Amino acid sequence: MVLLLRREGFRATGARVEVLVFLDKQKKPVGIQSIANAFPQVNMTTLYRMMTNFAEKGLVTAYELGHGHVDYELASRPHHHHLVCESCGDIEDVFPCADDCAFIDSVKKTSKKFQRVTKQMTTFYGTCTVCSRR
């Protein structure tokens, strides 16, 4: 993580390294509150600034998944999508396609104005097993 930070022009402070290591261990995107709970010694303003800077440099991906806050995960994770429970907000990573979705090609072929697609984020919504039993 130290080399990754330095390559992107960041000083490799303890807090930055620890936050990236924390994100690397997560199995799904996490909100700023989860990050803050893991690092109570780090000021919330500092965490927001850190995550914004990381997202701008492409170290993390920020997602608006429809539950009122931004969730973050390392941008280096393999290509995947998210499935979000509309009832409880739980998130699951799903891997329905290869690294370059076939539908990116389809989008480019059907577009009249765009030649290049730089990224795509597809989020699926539904009801998780726990909520469907309620």
Q: Which CATH superfamily is domain 78-134 in?
A: Ferric-uptake regulator, C-terminal dimerisarion domain (3.30.1490.190)
Q: Is the pLDDT of residue 1 over 70?
A: yes
Q: Which CATH number fits domain 1-77: 1.10.3720.10, 3.20.20.70, 1.10.10.10, 3.30.70.141?
A: 1.10.10.10
pLDDT tens-digit map of 59-77: 999 999 888 899 999 999 9
Sequence-ordered alpha helix ranges (H) in the chain = 2-7, 14-25, 32-38, 44-57, 102-110, 129-132
Q: Is the pLDDT of residue 80 over 90?
A: no
Q: Is the pLDDT of residue 100 over 80?
A: no
Q: For 131, list phi and psi in degrees, rounded to 5.
A: -70, -30
User: How many whole angstroms separate alpha carbon 128 and alpha carbon 89?
Assistant: 9
pLDDT tens-digit map of 12-50: 999 999 999 999 999 999 999 999 999 999 999 999 999
Q: Is the pLDDT of residue 101 over 90?
A: no
Mean pLDDT of the chain: 91
Extents of the domains making up the chain = 1-77, 78-134
Let me know: does 99 contact 76? Beta carbons within 8 Å: no
HSE at residue 13, side-chain half, CA atoms within 13 A, is 9
